[in-house]
Structure 1
Amino acid sequence: MEALLKRKFGRETKDYLAITLGLICYSIGWAAFLLPYQITTGGVTGIAAIIYYATGVEIQVSYFIINAVFLGFALKILGPKFSIKTIYAIIMLTFLLWFFQMLFKDDSGKLPMLLGPGQDFMACVIGAGLLGFGIGLVFCHNGSTGGTDIIAWIINKYKDVTLGRMMMYCDIIIISSCYFIFHDWRRVLFGFCVLFVMSIVIDYVINSARQSVQFLIFSRKHDEIAQGISTQINRGVTLLDGKGWYSKQDIKVVVVLAKKSQSLDIFRLVKDIDPNAFISQSNVVGVYGEGFDPLKVK
């Protein structure tokens, strides 16, 4: 019981550290690249940026107020665990947005164009990459930066739609609305460019983290290997009956489906038990069920 609690506490700590790192990347993307060039995108942060450009109200203030409303929906539909991490992310991001703006401001109190004047598109791409990487890290550890992220998570909970694509649908209206502030279609196009790059980076980060592999392990010490994988790696194991065509001898085949991040641990365990084991590893397109992604069908 004590070991289980330690493992759970360690996993939660890693989640919060990863979420914090993601929020730092997200905040730097806004403070260093998007805000100085007056570029916006979707989501609550995009709405807060539009308010900032139009009225001068600090982006973190609008962001916090709007998310306080959305948080009620997350608490009811996505559960308290999700909401706790969301509350943490909202509070932390509010602070980080303020902190990095203060850090990057020059002596005149303005955010400088770090890439120089006329580099709007480059700022757009770099900023979008940082935003997408940051949000991807947050999503991988069951967190949310609030706003349209919550809407994307709610739909993703019931339908097999990628988070990046769902956020794109939610944010098109927000980006288009910035035309009424700037009366400049160029700003709208930059906003869509940010959204496009963000969606690609988010899906890449999430799919990389969730990639699964399949192991076929041939060994005479199959019982020890199966027991070790089950208890130490905490993965289910299946034993299949096999027969060597050349040797005509019966043998058990250990079949394991695991996260790609667990591959090295499995290789080490098998090597310690049976250095002569024959191992086949292959990537799988998707694994659904207990311990992996939930099966979502209409």
Structure 2
Amino acid sequence: MKEKGFKLIMQFAVMLVALEVLAISINMFYAPHNVAAGGATGISILLEDALGWNRALIVFVINIAMLLASYFTLGKETTARITVGSLLLPICMAITPSISLVSDRTLAVIVGGALYALGVALLYQIDASSGGTTVPPLILKKYFNFKPSVSLLVIDTMVCVMNIFSSGIEAFILALFSSVITLLVMNYIETGIDRKKSVYIMSSHLAEVEEIISESLDQSYTSLDVQGGFSGDNKRMLMLVVENSEYHRIIGRIREIDPQAFILTTNVAEVHGGQY
């Protein structure tokens, strides 16, 4: 029971940190330069610039509307999952100072995009959400089987386009640029930054290659039984996961043994488990 309570406290703490990071990215990087990069927070920047309305209040109203839509269309479970984040984000935005930390707009959207990605990725880690425009894609998926990623992209793109009428074409380009940065940073955060390479090897001198790998290079590997698609011959293939820094050294040693060896290399985001 204590362990479960501690886990809930830690999840809530992570959520608070994530939401505050989102608030900092909006209040200190996006909003001071009038760049709306999508979502409810982007809409709030546009409306504040056009009508002078309070950003945090706009996000609060949008999130409440989305919670009601979620309750009547997606059910209680989904609504409960996004309620806390939806209510706390506008609070974080209201208490976070609205200041410009950098004067250059390009630098602002780079840093803002990276921070926004960090905040969203942290929320994903604990299966939470800040609500807002993440709700309509879920509704469209349920009733019309639209892909949520496509629906969210369309919504965010529409928000980005509105920058043209609010702050000009430069703000629109910066908003798109920021969205790309957010996507790339989120991808690296979610799948880990400790990237490796997976190497598949077939050779007529496979026994010698195995010896070099296991003894000289002190590298573990997996032996796979395969069949040639053209020849139909049964063969063996080696599969090993190597650090990026070790990749060229290992490939060089294999090429010394068999210059004609078949080597296929792919990037690996994460590796879990031990040696077998």
Q: Per the shorter chain, which TM-score range?
A: 0.5 to 0.7
Q: Deviations over 1:171-217 (max 9, x none)?
A: 111111222223x11111111111111122233333349xxxxxxxx
Task: Say whether 1:203 aligns with 2:187.
Answer: yes
Counterpart amino acid of residue 87 in structure 1: T
Measure, in 2, the Cα distance between the counterparts of 1:261 and 1:84. Answer: 33
CA gap of 1:79–1:10, structure 2 versus 1, over 3 A, is farther
Of 72, 80, 90, the residue aligned with 2:86 is 90
Task: Say whether 1:114 aligns with 2:114.
Answer: no
CA gap of 1:7–1:76, structure 2 versus 1, over 3 A, is farther
The answer to whether the 8 A contact 2:19-2:92 is kept is yes
The answer to whether the 8 A contact 1:26-1:130 is kept is yes
Q: Which residue of 1 aligns with 2:122?
A: 137
Q: Which residue of 1 aligns with 2:70?
A: 74
Task: Say whether 1:280 aligns with 2:264.
Answer: no
1:75 shift after superposition: 2.5
Aligned residues: 200
Q: Which residue of 2 aligns with 1:19?
A: 15
Measure, in 2, the Cα distance between the counterparts of 1:206 and 1:77. Answer: 29
C-alpha root-mean-square deviation of aligned residues, in Å? 3.1
1:128 shift after superposition: 0.7
Q: Which residue of 2 aligns with 1:270?
A: none
- TM-score relative to the length of structure 2: 0.63
* Matching of residues 136-215 of structure 1 within 5 Å: 136-152=121-137, 167-182=152-167, 184-208=168-192
Q: Which residue of 1 aligns with 2:53?
A: 57
Measure, in 2, the Cα distance between the counterparts of 1:88 and 1:14. Answer: 15
Rg (Cα) greater in structure:
2
Measure, in 2, the Cα distance between the counterparts of 1:188 and 1:82. Answer: 33
Instruction: Structure 1 unaligned segments of length 5 or more: list them.
Output: 105-110, 210-259, 264-278, 282-298
Instruction: Structure 2 unaligned segments of length 5 or more: list them.
Output: 194-269
The answer to whether the 8 A contact 2:39-2:133 is kept is yes
CA gap of 1:8–1:150, structure 2 versus 1, over 3 A, is farther
